[in-house]
Amino acid sequence: MMAVPPMAPLRAAQPAEAWDTSLHREIGDRAPKDLRGFYAARGNRPLWITFAGRPSAAALRFVAILRDAGLDGLDADKFKPEKLEKQLAKAPGASVKDRAKAELALSSAYVRYVQAVREAPRSDMTYETQALAPVVPTPAAALSALAAAPSLENYVRDMGWMTPFYAPLRSALAARRLSPAQADSAILNLARLRALPPIPSGQWVLIDAASARLWMFEGPRVAGTMKVVVGTRQTQTPEMAGFLRYAIVNPYWNMPDSLLPSRITEKVLANGPGYLATHRYQVLNGWEEDAEVVDPTQVDWEAVAAGQATVRARQLPGAGNFMGSVKFMFPNPQGIYLHDTPERNLLAKPARQYSNGCVRLEDAQRFGKWLMGKPLPRSRKPETRVELPVIVPIYITYLTAQPEKGRVAFHADVYGRDVLNGG
């Protein structure tokens, strides 16, 4: 942090109110067009410069962030942090005009930086709608969010214009305490975090496939977390974003076609069609909504095994159902959803990449209660749809480096995505 010269004494003939008014007037006169409306709405009061002319703690923190803009995939020189630093250092003894210039220069740099980091290179993510993606704010929106923060210094320190994990991971990288390999990993993961928007209001869900963990957020606050099971290296859980819209209580498990040979066809050929009823499976004649249940004794299982005929299989709701008691839906082309699981042993493993791509929950009932604001309803009817009170954003990412209790936790690159991206 730069040294700040001692404050120059104010002239006794100029009362505080007059000095204050003159600074406000100077800011109003000098504000560029893109900042004029924001400052006018706040009576041209400064954000960054104190009444005494000293740079605020938020200003000094922000200049330090600008010096390391290369960590964001940006050119730090474009933001002229050294020039800003000199202006702030001179501000205590400077004229009202120069203080106003320093104030406005910092706001302009802030706007350009926030816009640039939102546009900086980021990893690919599939969004249900662009409303879930990071957006480039207008100057007024960027500054208004900053001004509305309870603490400017905390907002800047935490980089409140980014997703919550971004600032702590970036800070660890800026501290130069990571090995070269760790630093490379951190840079890749910052790009993944740039694919996430700043903190949404209300409830939202974050899932990390690398650590196989889920977080429930309420704005910036973590309301809870739990283990999950995600896809294998062969059946990877994708990086994606959507809206959780409803739950299915007492679900069927609709078996993927890829699992049909090992789980159904081979078993029926070895044990007879009675295997299906014993293990609570049904066979249907297609994947359409109105598909009909067929008698398994009438299916040519040899033809199914040879790929000359096709059937669909599903497991009935109830004890042992692969979906457990509930699944949570955010419609997407990949067919990914969240669900309960009877395979509790997998949740005890340190690495939990075992699913076919969907996300299995450690505590589906707790998750459902958090989403609904009350316990999930009970139903004897299969596939009972329960709408959520409000739709909830959900983001699935892949963080092989992430902040954890004041340090950086590194996770195995199970999916090989770091290697593909140059790590």
For 334-364, write each residue's pLDDT tens digit. Answer: 999 999 999 999 999 999 999 999 999 999 9
d(CA 342, CA 121): 40
Give every CB contact of residue 375 below 8 A, 6+ residues apart in sequence: 365, 368, 369
pLDDT of 252 > 80? The answer is: yes
pLDDT of 108 > 80? The answer is: yes
pLDDT of 140 > 90? The answer is: yes
Give strand pairing partners of 284.
293, 312
Q: What is the pLDDT of residue 1?
A: 34
Q: How many CA atoms lie within 13 A of 240 on its CB side?
A: 18
Q: Check the CA dihedral 12-13-18-19 and report its sign.
A: negative
Residues 254-259, mean pLDDT to the nearest whole number: 86
Classify strands 384-397 and 353-355 as parallel, antiparallel or unpaired: unpaired
Residues 120-143, mean pLDDT to the nearest whole number: 95
pLDDT of 16 > 60? The answer is: no
With tokens 């008691």, the residue in question is 325
d(CA 409, CA 361): 22
* DSSP letters spanning 360-408: EES-HHHHHHHHHSSPPPP-SSTTEEEEEEEEEEEEEE--SEEEETTEE
Q: Is 95 helix (H, G, I), strand (E, B) or coil?
A: coil
With tokens 């007492």, the residue in question is 250
With tokens 């977390």, the residue in question is 225
More confident residue, 192 or 10: 192
CATH topology of domain 197-251+320-420: L,D-transpeptidase catalytic domain-like (2.40.440)
Domain positions in the chain are 16-157, 197-251+320-420, 253-315
Name the token pair of 6.
């001692």
Nearest Cα to 199, choosing from 222, 170, 168? 222
pLDDT confidence bin for 20, thresholds 50/70/90: low
Asked if residues 334 and 238 have their Cβ atoms less than 8 Å apart, the reply is yes
Residues 155-163, mean pLDDT to the nearest whole number: 96
* DSSP letters spanning 264-303: IIHHHHHH-THHHHHTTEEEES-SSTTPPEE-GGGS-HHH
* H or E, element range at 218: strand 213-218
